[in-house]
Structure 1
Amino acid sequence: MTSTVDTVDPAAAEATEVSRVVISLLKGVVYQSESAQVWTLLRRFQARVTDHMTVMGLDLVIDEAEGYAHLRQATFDEANIPRLVPRHRLSFRVSLLLALLRKRLAEFDATSSDTRLIITRDQIAELLRVHLPDSSNEVRLIGDVDTLIGKVDELGFLRQVKGQEATFEVRRIIKAYIDAQWLADFDARLQAYLASMDGDGEPRG
């Protein structure tokens, strides 16, 4: 009697691994610290993944220093190519919170050797309070801080720390969306925001 030994097709196995990376990226940001196996596969098959994403009109962006990878909509001359990466129209309040968190992360990186910026709900509220004019609008905005945090969490820039109520990690992917030049102009942009606010705390026009 002879026995048969199941063999694994190397090409099929490799295709499966590439697919795993592609699906992970399409779902969102891939962090080295959280998805070590996917990260290893990404680095191994980077050229193939890049080619695959290019066909889909996407750019693969890998930040080795920060330890994350994500997809960005490629820029084309033709305007009739559908977008796979949606654009988010952000409200004034969400934009303000993102800017403040990005600035806080820059300060943190300049003074700490830790890689995780942890911030509480009260600290987030204080960030907002300091940068708002003295008016009843401040009370309204601070009262909505949980809603703002929820929206920023949905965008992937905050994540609640497990086992710690009202405590969040500022996700480092925020650096890819709010760059150093934007941050350098932060104060001027903030003044422009505040100058445009109407009596309800929203931009005029």
Structure 2
Amino acid sequence: MDQPDATLDTTPTTKPNQDLSRLLIGLLKGVLYRESDEPLWAALLTLQSAVRDTMRLLDLELVLDEAEGYAFLKSRDDSDDDDEGSTRLPRLIARRPLSFPVSLLLALLRKKLLEFDAGAGDTRLVLSRDEIVELVRVFLPEGTNEARLIDQIDTHINKVVDLGFLHRLKPGAGAAAAPDNYEVKRILKAFVDAQWLSEFDARLAVYRQRLMPESATAEGRRHD
């Protein structure tokens, strides 16, 4: 009796695994934006369950915002432990404390983004360096050296760029990309929510009260 011919299945089976590997590596490196890599973004939407399961082994959580078009990893909260007596794994993503000026700048940019979203127009909020400087300088103690104050604000801006919440636009990429222009990245909404803003407003009110006596004393001295 004739035996049927054996045929090899040549259908590729490694593509999903390759996509998953690329996703895991990319997310461990930083934020994934839809606009930066649309094919990889499409793979994430398909494989997000596998990504979540894999990252849970590293005590990480996938944050995915389809509407805004970004995804990133964060350490799971302590309250997310399933077993009360379980030992926490070492943090793969370290928490970075921020200085008050940097926190202030993040809060002001978040409010600016909130105001921008309330109006109609472009989806990209672009601010010039001078506009960002003016946002911050009214909250910082005035010094006799104006240039030094501006340099300090530039340092805070560079820190926010390093954190990924501001993107320095290259000159020559359109009218919005003039020298010293920055795009406020929408991922800022995931880190600075309404509760954070409310708590920061309370701290800012205390900070303002602390500055007012100093300003009043300086003003009085000038009139003596």
The TM-score normalised by the length of structure 2 is 0.77
Mapping 1:32-181, distance limit 5 Å: 32-76=34-78, 77=81, 78=86, 80-133=88-141, 135-136=142-143, 139=146, 140-163=148-171, 164-181=178-195
Change in CA separation of 1:187 and 1:137 when aligned onto 2, cut-off 3 Å: farther
1-side partners of 2:195 and 2:145: how far apart? Answer: 28
Which structure has the bigger radius of gyration? 2
Q: Does structure 2 conserve the Cα–Cα contact (< 8 Å) formed by 1:128 and 1:142?
A: no
Q: Counterpart amino acid of 1:136?
A: G
Q: Deviations over 1:28-50 (max 9, x none)?
A: 11111222111100001111111
Matched, 1:188 2:202: yes
**Any gaps of 5 or more consecutive residues in structure 2?**
1-7, 172-177, 215-224
Aligned length: 192
Helix, strand or coil: the match of 2:36?
Answer: coil
1:99-130 CA-to-partner distances (Å, cap 9, x unmatched) read 11111111111113321100011001100123
SS in 2 for 1:84: coil
Deviation at 1:182, TM superposition (A): 2.0
Cα shift at 1:72: 1.3
Structure 1 residues 138 and 81: alpha-carbon distance in aligned structure 2, compared to 1, 3 A threshold: farther
Structure 1 distance, partners of 2:197, 2:114, is: 9
Q: What letter corresponds to residue 153 of structure 1 in structure 2? A: V
User: If the length of structure 1 is used for normalisation, what is the TM-score?
Assistant: 0.84
SS of residue paired to 1:144: helix
Deviation sequence 1:51-110 (CA, Å, 0-9, x none): 111111111111122111111101245454111111111111111111111111111111
| Residues 66-75 or 187-196, more deviating | 187-196
Alignment CA distance shift 1:84-1:195 (3 Å): farther
Provide structure 1 residue ranges, at least 5 long, that are not aligned to the other structure: 200-205
Residues 7, 152 of structure 1: CA spacing in aligned structure 2 closer, same or farther, 3 A cutoff? same
| Counterpart Cα distance in 2 of 1:136 and 1:160 | 27
Question: What's the CA shift for 1:193?
Answer: 3.3
Aligned letter for 2:117? Answer: D
- Shift of the alpha carbon at 1:184? 3.6
Give the whole-Å Cα distance in 1 for the aligned partners of 2:188 and 2:88. Answer: 29
